[in-house]
């Protein structure tokens, strides 16, 4: 005799909804990053000429956070915080020159945490700072063993194309040009979107955590010609947030941080509008690649059971506060797009998100880890520092007793974003305060005015009591130098590693991005990702190990042989 409760169970499983109920216990996650994208997005209104139809359609289908901020205004600490759930003030990972694994050697990253709980975790493109971190993924494109997240990308052979270099201080990738190539010939993000689309078009044995790292609008702003065409140079509008005398009411620390060498150099070369054009074109290209991914999801078997989250690691200045690039605490740099779309039936939000909702609560990308685990019904990770966003996904007007903190390069420097006011503090005691409701571009510093002292007090209450020290900040000046050996094309490189490991610091003075490899005792090459021009990073090694340095195309330039103690290895300008 079949018991009544089994009859009910059979009847339930015979219904059309049974499979969705079962699979919804572990929804898929599509985790999309766009690099260096500020609020120049249609739905955020950052620049009137921005073309972002796919970002906008994603926002219309889910929840848009209009007051979202990055954990840090630089790739490495921001992405490190997002992927580990650990705040910079806890990890000590504050800037691009540090090593994520050097600061958090044992941290489980978001994809590994999902894999440990029954997921297939895969990704493509830039998710971390110029590394893949192979141990964190089940599969990657390009292959995770390469530790190089970038597929082949077409770049002009003769560079710079548009912006002459102002000196060795200038990042060689600060340049822009319309390329006479198709999307497929260009490669890069096109190949990332192709690989991600292929995964979305398949049925998988396990639920997936799938990360899509779209590199544009990161520099260089080289994209196919057709993405420049909607932005004729004679119609380019300057950034709405630009004000000529914007530095006048800043304290000394702000005045020092605001102007940098890039912006006056760009203006002297008559390239300001060309740079804006290149950024808009790169945003349009990135948005088009996003559209390819969204189309693959919508047309495939996973559309009804996939959480979609889209974010950028930090914003970007194009002249606001006389600044070009990132690394500041102002809203142009900390505010980023954050969109989440949650289907019905997921464990942490059975009703899903309501299409077209917006939320102006001050949130931080540090919340992505706990939000995704809660939505997916996974156990909380005890080391997560951010609050889950699920209450706001349930109701955008929900009580939110939090502020969003952005850590600015060193302990004691930070920006705090509330629902209306933003506070910036520097380690010398200088302060800034802005009323975003009446002053969205932060033109009027209210900090010196006594009537706003209470607002500063309220925002300071959200700050942590202690900050982790900045580690690995040795530029190499106090370390012995390793000898640079140019590669002659014939020397057989074989390491003789011995004894206990320690760190060397490699500095890139070559004026171009470099690929870093260690050589093993059999002559095999082990990639350690890309080292940006001008940057210095620590690498764990052993005495007797050879480190091979190659250019962006993988052609060997030279090598260092590690001695018996920590040392500094400086890569010189070629032919010097």
Catalytic positions, written as ranges = 75, 129
Burial class of residue 6, CB neighbours in 10 A (0-12, 13-18, 19+) = exposed
Q: Which two tokens stand for residue 367?
A: 């919340």
Residue 382 CA from chain centroid, whole number: 23
3-state class (DSSP) for residue 13:
helix
* CA-CA-CA-CA dihedral for 205, 190, 114, 372, to nearest 10: -120
CA 44 to chain centre: 19
Give SS3 for 2: coil
Q: Give the count of beta carbons closer than 10 Å to the beta carbon of residue 169.
A: 12
Is-contact 500 542, C-beta < 8 A?
yes
Alpha-carbon dihedral angle through residues 557, 562, 563, 567, given to the nearest 10 degrees = 90
Distance set, CA 361 to CA 275, 367, 370, 392, 419 (Å): 32, 13, 17, 8, 6
Q: Are 340 and 63 in contact (CB under 8 A)?
A: yes
Report how far residue 92's alpha carbon sits from residue 503's, in angstroms, rounded to the nearest whole number.
Answer: 17
Beta strands in 509-563 (DSSP E): 514-519, 525-531, 536-541, 546-550, 556-561
- Vertex 215, ends 83 and 117: CA angle to 5°? 30
CA–CA dist 221, 231 (Å, integer)? 14
Beta carbons within 10 angstroms of residue 296's beta carbon: 21
Alpha helices in 204-313 (DSSP H): 252-257, 262-268, 272-298
- Which tokens is 450 given? 């006594």
Where would I find the H helices in 500-570?
A: none
Contact, 541 vs 518, CB < 8 A?
yes
DSSP string, 300-314: STTGGGEEEEEEES-
Q: Is 149 exposed, middle or buried (0-12, 13-18, 19+ CB in 10 A)?
A: buried
- CA distances for 155 relative to 33, 173, 177, 185, 429, angstroms: 22, 11, 10, 10, 44
Structure token digits, residue 464: 């942590």
Are 537 and 476 in contact by the 8 Å Cβ rule? The answer is no
Residue whose C-alpha is closest to residue 311's, from 30, 28, 32? 32
Structure tokens at 260: 């940098």
What is the C-alpha to C-alpha distance for residues 42 and 52, in angstroms, rounded to an integer? 6
């Amino acid at each position: 005799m079949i018991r009544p409760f089994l009859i009910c169970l059979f009847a339930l499983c015979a219904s059309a909804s049974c499979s969705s109920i079962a699979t919804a216990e572990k929804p898929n996650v599509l985790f999309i990053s766009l690099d260096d994208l500020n609020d120049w997005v249609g739905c955020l209104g950052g620049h009137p000429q921005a073309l972002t139809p796919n970002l906008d359609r994603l926002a219309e289908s889910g929840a848009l956070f209009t007051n979202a901020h990055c954990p840090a205004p630089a790739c490495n600490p921001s992405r490190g915080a997002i992927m580990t759930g650990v705040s910079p003030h806890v990890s000590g990972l504050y800037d691009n020159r540090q090593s994520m694994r050097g600061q958090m050697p044992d941290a489980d990253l978001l994809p590994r945490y999902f894999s440990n709980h029954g997921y297939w975790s895969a990704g493509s493109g830039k998710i971390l700072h110029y590394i893949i971190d192979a141990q964190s993924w089940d599969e990657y494109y390009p292959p995770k063993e390469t530790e190089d997240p970038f597929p082949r990308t077409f770049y002009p052979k003769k560079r710079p194309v548009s912006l002459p270099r102002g000196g060795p201080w200038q990042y060689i990738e600060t340049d822009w040009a319309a390329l006479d190539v198709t999307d497929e010939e260009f490669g890069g993000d096109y190949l990332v979107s192709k690989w991600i689309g292929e995964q979305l078009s398949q049925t998988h044995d396990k639920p997936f955590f799938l990360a899509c790292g779209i590199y544009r609008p990161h520099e260089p702003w080289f994209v196919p010609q057709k993405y420049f065409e909607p932005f004729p140079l004679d119609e380019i509008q300057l950034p709405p947030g630009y004000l000529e005398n914007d530095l006048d009411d800043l304290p000394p620390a702000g005045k020092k941080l605001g102007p940098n060498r890039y912006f006056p150099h760009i203006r002297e070369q008559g390239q300001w509008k060309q740079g804006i054009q290149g950024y808009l074109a790169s945003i349009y290209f990135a948005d088009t690649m996003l559209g390819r991914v969204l189309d693959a999801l919508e047309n495939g078997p996973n559309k009804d059971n996939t959480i979609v989250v889209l974010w950028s690691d930090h914003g970007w200045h194009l002249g606001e506060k006389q600044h070009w690039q990132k690394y500041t605490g102002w809203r142009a740099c900390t505010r980023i797009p954050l969109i989440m779309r949650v289907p019905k039936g997921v464990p942490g939000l059975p009703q899903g998100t309501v299409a077209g909702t917006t939320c102006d609560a001050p949130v931080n990308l540090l919340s992505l880890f706990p939000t995704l685990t809660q939505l997916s019904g996974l156990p909380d990770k005890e080391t997560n520092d951010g609050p889950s966003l699920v209450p706001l996904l349930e109701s955008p007007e929900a009580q939110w007793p939090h502020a969003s903190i952005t850590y600015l390069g060193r302990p004691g420097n930070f920006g705090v974003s509330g629902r209306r006011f933003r506070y910036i503090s520097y380690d010398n005691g200088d302060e800034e305060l802005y009323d975003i409701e009446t002053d969205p571009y932060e033109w009027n510093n209210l900090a010196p005015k006594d009537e706003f002292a209470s607002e500063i007090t309220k925002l300071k209450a959200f700050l942590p009591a202690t900050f982790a020290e900045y580690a690995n900040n040795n530029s190499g000046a106090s370390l012995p130098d390793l000898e640079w050996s140019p590669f002659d094309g014939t020397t057989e490189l074989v390491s003789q590693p011995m004894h206990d490991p320690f760190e060397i610091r490699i500095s890139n003075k070559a004026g171009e991005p470099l690929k870093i490899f260690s050589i093993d005792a059999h002559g095999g090459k082990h990639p350690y990702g890309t080292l940006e021009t001008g940057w210095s990073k620590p690498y764990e090694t052993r005495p007797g190990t050879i480190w091979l340095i190659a250019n962006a195309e993988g052609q060997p330039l030279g090598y260092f042989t590690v001695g018996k103690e920590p040392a500094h290895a400086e890569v010189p300008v070629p032919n010097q």
